[in-house]
Structure 1
Amino acid sequence: HIGDLEEVAKRFKIKEICVSQGALTKTSFVKRLQELKRPVRPLKAGDKLPIMGNHLQVLYPQKVGDGGNNDSIVLYGKLLGTSFLFTGDLEKEGEKELIDSYPNLKVSVLKAGHHGSKGSSSEMFLNQIQPSIALISAGEHNRYKHPNEETLERFKDRNIRVLRTDQDGAIRFKGWFKLSSETVR
């Protein structure tokens, strides 16, 4: 979600804004981007983003979508020997496309799709990628009541440790030779 994009741009130096190609089909979004006067880079599957002497690989979307939740950019990478999957607002239909394209995909840390909504982190998806940690980004007392209890139960049934911004605050991973996590409230 980009509801506070302009506020973020006031407080942080933004070199480039990365978006899915489908997001550029939304004229209201394109207008907001133009007003920010920052370079915009549309991403597609196969692109790579440098980070910490390594890179994150764009796994999804593989085609131009409609700019909706299942047009979210999905990033995969190994940082400090730990595999991460960042799924944006991806829901179960997008998760199915993703695992159909990458049937051997396994990850240690999953940034759960769509704030842990009922329609994300499906059983099939979790069984395939087998994360040990799930990160859920959700505002405290949000109007959508994210994360959903059924989704949390799916994590619990698989012994997946859950870290939530609504309860735990900011989540930070740190390390030099070994990665560890901590929450900051």
Structure 2
Amino acid sequence: MDYTNCIKLSTHTDTDHMGDIEVVAKAIRIKEILTSQGSLSQPSFVRRLRRLKCHVRVLAAGDHLPIMGSVLQVLYPWQLGNGKNNDSLVLYGRLLNQTFLFTGDLEKEGENEIIERYPQLRVDYLKAGHHGSNTSSSAAFLDHIQPKVAFISAGKNNRYQHPHRETLTRLEDREISYYRTDIQGAIRLTGWLNWHIETVR
């Protein structure tokens, strides 16, 4: 399989999101890295980008990314941040008749800004923020966007014990189905007319 000219999206600068990018770049030719302006305020991140020697594009709220005949809309951040959790890129997309929201490691403070800025925002599929930490996927945020399904990306037996029980309870109380990579492995959606969720370990 040809993995050349791929685009890497860096939601923010935390090691668990960008730490192995140089290893990945040895196997996959990265054409472009997309990141927030605030991420470029982190010297270690900038040094890593320079070693990769690929084009860097800065994204902010209002930008659009074409994908599979549709677009991903950048909802956040609106202003210069520090490249940390609440400076995560937040992406919203519609593919066929389904909507998706990817929140990086956005925490409650950032979620509240999303609620304020996008009063009509509703989604079908949510990539739960910050690996299911109890600092993200707040009750107010879940009530606002009303997802049907949440995907939680967390390493097996991770030292932070993500996802947090409080977060899972908030999902369960709202009858939001969820899938966990730490238990079920990789998650993928298949089908064009009817979506099917598959897990692979």
Alignment of 1:90-169 (within 5 A): 90-169=106-185
Q: How many equivalent residue pairs?
A: 185
Note the C-alpha offset of 1:14: 1.6
| Cα pair 1:16 1:38 within 8 Å, conserved | yes
Q: What is the distance in 2 between the residues matched to 1:157 and 1:11?
A: 42
Q: What is the distance in 2 between the residues matched to 1:80 and 1:3?
A: 34
**Amino acid in the other structure paired with 2:89:** I
Q: Name which of 22, 28, 32 aligns with 2:48.
A: 32
State yes or no: 1:14 paired with 2:5: no
The CA deviation string for residues 17-69 of structure 1, in whole angstroms up to 9 with x for no partner, is 11011000111101101100111111000101111011100000011101110
Q: What is the distance in 2 between the residues matched to 1:176 and 1:97?
A: 33
Indicate the percent of aligned positions where both proteins have the same amino acid. 62
Note the C-alpha offset of 1:178: 2.1
Q: What is the distance in 2 between the residues matched to 1:148 and 1:45?
A: 29
Give the TM-score taking structure 1 as reference length.
0.98
Give the TM-score taking structure 2 as reference length.
0.90
Q: Secondary structure at the match of 2:92?
A: strand
**What's the Cα RMSD here?**
0.8
Note the C-alpha offset of 1:5: 1.1
- Tell me which residue corresponds to 2:103: 87
**Amino acid in the other structure paired with 1:168:** Q
Q: Secondary structure at the match of 2:18?
A: coil
State yes or no: 1:69 paired with 2:88: no
- Tell me which residue corresponds to 2:188: 172
For structure 2, the residue ranges without an aligned partner over 5 or more in a row are 1-16
| Cα pair 1:18 1:43 within 8 Å, conserved | yes
Q: What is the distance in 2 between the residues matched to 1:35 and 1:180?
A: 40
**Amino acid in the other structure paired with 1:79:** L
Q: What is the distance in 1 between the residues matched to 2:59 and 2:120?
A: 23
**Amino acid in the other structure paired with 2:194:** K
For structure 1, the residue ranges without an aligned partner over 5 or more in a row are none
